[in-house]
Structure 1
């Protein structure tokens, strides 16, 4: 009996749990077979500055990083990180609620409170974990999360982890948001999750109207300002500041991996019960704390961004110049006017997009190739992320690269 059962078990074929990804494998193999460089396996052998690197052996202008304010090579930021590593070592080897809170973790939270002029700040190991943790902790079973259909993956994953009822609405549609809110059962917990700047198209949310609708319908509001913090708003506090609704937003989520130039995520808020989140937010409680060197660099960067008005002005100038130049060349863009540091160049399809990406790389320009399902409406696009350290001459050089590559591939 035992022998027969053993034979039966050994003969069973396991279900290949990776087979569901076969279409993606096929698409990638088709692109590579056509001789296109792998757009999702770029190697930077050396980073020369916030705007230049050696990529696959080539001196390359970087137009595909989130280094919006160019803080990665700031001397003060680097010096602070070096000193903290010497003083505290390479890592924390523990969670924030155990041994993982060092001097610089508290300091970076103080810097965030100063930057946003808010009462509370909480730092996570990544921006993804900030959304995952805060959203899943705030809204659970029986609560409702109303969110933009084009929300970032970390927002969707936070909704799933919290087991709340999820109600999506059409992208940036105030009327659709209001209709969804009015259908929520009376007395239910309601959290509306929005983004200041949407990372694929670079478009800005109408937060002023949306926050008003949320408050009229008794919903709490969380805004992810990952792609606007440091750049948009008088003090760089994001779209909520720019549109005058920062005080009406309950929670702001952000990241250090964009304008701050390091790594990590955060949440700031004026909610009087905010500190309890440190005890009940699983991605905060059960994750090792960031190294003190990263925290010291981040705190220094945040405080310098408070006085970054000139950098912000130059970044806006770069955005207007590149957007206008690409439009004049005949490229189809994600927005009619420049709305952020992100400019999306729409491609006819994935094959043409990959060819254009490769042609630009050979010209000496790196951009992001984005494809479904990451992109809205199933489109393929090249995402350009400008930096405050790009010079006016570099922007003109970039336009020349786009013109030559676009004509060679037949897109313009």
Structure 2
């Protein structure tokens, strides 16, 4: 295939959306007004697709910390952690994560994507065995591919299928790596982490959990699904991102194994990428402090999630999972999803349009992510918009409900 053929293939993807006024690749947020509002197309729009779970992007403490760091240390590091890019703030944030989790080791990376890429490229080699959840994020798949490891997927959220695949590996299961996520970002469902961890340990495998969308959201202290499941002392690696609840840019990895610090000498994304800017690090550190000291943020997020979830169900929409901070509405076709997404935008509501293959099970998704910063009035306005666009989408909803029943 030539490069021109590849462009033609991408054009077909665009054309497959049908005749719509806009698609997500062409949307520009002209002005951000708050964690939950922006100007899009010269129109005030409620944002319900930002992953800004705790609403901290405009928090005064976060903004002040970021501003002070930038003025004191400059706008960027201009170097990797292994060159000139390890500032005092980076080391302090790593200590804060290790202390919060009660583990000896923590590392921070420049993005959440690079966190999983950097960890997997450092610990895996050709011939190593990996078994990952079939709905794992692209960066997990990419890290396994680049490492050269042999990897296969187990059925989503199915401990028995994981057990079957490990059993088939025989002696090679011992020392293999099992990977799952906490909260899955597309459907909004959560993993049975305690059961998956038990299976992994039964066969002598290592266990890694990506808490990108669940850190700050689940657990008594906000440590994520591993805390809720009571397995913090059993998981080998936990990764997460700054770009969700931590209102910044970057990522972290913590481990109960002190040897993880050795990965600084072998993780190419860590060694060869410029480190996070002082402002990003300071913002993430301030947001981490907010998670530790302001549990009311998590409580408000869950109140909003319950309100939207219950309201959408009452309107007759088929939802992809039980209540969580990610609420995905199933639409049976790409064209129908694109049309409804455009109509929501016309109503002043921005959600995420998710199409196959990113959307599992061949259905399109209208994905909503809730924030602690949403008011109940905004939730009700979002529901009113869904009611308006749904009035003309009875066939789409009926078809989706029928598909879900099969």
**TM-score for both structures, normalised by structure 1:** 0.93
CA contact (8 A) 1:39 1:354 kept: no
1:402 is aligned to 2:386: yes
Match of 1:219 in 2: 205
Deviation at residue 341 of structure 1 after TM alignment: 0.4
Match of 2:341 in 1: 357
Aligned mates of 1:103, 1:149 — CA distance in 2: 39
Deviation at residue 18 of structure 1 after TM alignment: 4.5
Give the aligned CA root-mean-square deviation in angstroms. Answer: 1.4
Match of 2:326 in 1: 342
Deviation at residue 108 of structure 1 after TM alignment: 1.4
Aligned mates of 1:381, 1:186 — CA distance in 2: 41
Aligned mates of 1:287, 1:185 — CA distance in 2: 38
Aligned mates of 1:119, 1:70 — CA distance in 2: 30
Aligned mates of 2:117, 2:387 — CA distance in 1: 41
1:27-106 residue pairs with structure 2 within 5 A? 27-29=13-15, 31=17, 34-106=19-91
Aligned mates of 2:7, 2:190 — CA distance in 1: 33
Number of equivalent positions: 395
CA contact (8 A) 2:16 2:335 kept: no
CA contact (8 A) 1:223 1:252 kept: yes
Instruction: State which of 299, 313, 318 in structure 2 corresponds to 1:313.
Output: 299
Deviation at residue 163 of structure 1 after TM alignment: 0.6
CA contact (8 A) 1:260 1:298 kept: yes
Aligned mates of 2:207, 2:261 — CA distance in 1: 18
Deviation at residue 31 of structure 1 after TM alignment: 3.9
Which runs of 5 or more structure 1 residues have no equivalent in the other structure? 1-14
The DSSP-based 3-state class of the residue aligned with 1:323 is helix
Q: Structure 1 residues 400, 138: closer, same or farther in 2, change over 3 A?
A: same
1:52-201 residue pairs with structure 2 within 5 A? 52-186=37-171, 189-201=175-187
- The C-alpha deviation readout for 1:344-373, integer Å capped at 9, x for no partner, is 100120111111001110110000000011
- The C-alpha deviation readout for 1:359-411, integer Å capped at 9, x for no partner, is 11011000000001111122211100000111111111111110001113444
Q: Name which of structure 1's ranges 254-263 and 20-29 shifts more when overlaid on structure 2.
A: 20-29
Match of 2:364 in 1: 380
**TM-score for both structures, normalised by structure 2:** 0.94
Q: Structure 1 residues 379, 23: closer, same or farther in 2, change over 3 A?
A: farther
Aligned mates of 1:141, 1:359 — CA distance in 2: 48
Aligned mates of 1:139, 1:30 — CA distance in 2: 38
Aligned mates of 2:170, 2:273 — CA distance in 1: 35
Q: Report the structure number with the largest CA radius of gyration.
A: 1
Deviation at residue 137 of structure 1 after TM alignment: 1.6
Match of 1:234 in 2: 220
Aligned mates of 1:62, 1:305 — CA distance in 2: 22
Deviation at residue 35 of structure 1 after TM alignment: 4.0
Deviation at residue 140 of structure 1 after TM alignment: 1.3
- The C-alpha deviation readout for 1:248-290, integer Å capped at 9, x for no partner, is 1000000000000101011011102111001111110111111
Instruction: State which of 239, 245, 270 in structure 2 corresponds to 1:284.
Output: 270
Q: Structure 1 residues 18, 230: closer, same or farther in 2, change over 3 A?
A: farther
Q: Structure 1 residues 216, 284: closer, same or farther in 2, change over 3 A?
A: same
Match of 2:244 in 1: 258
Instruction: State which of 235, 240, 245 in structure 2 corresponds to 1:249.
Output: 235
CA contact (8 A) 2:20 2:338 kept: no
Which runs of 5 or more structure 2 residues have no equivalent in the other structure? 398-406
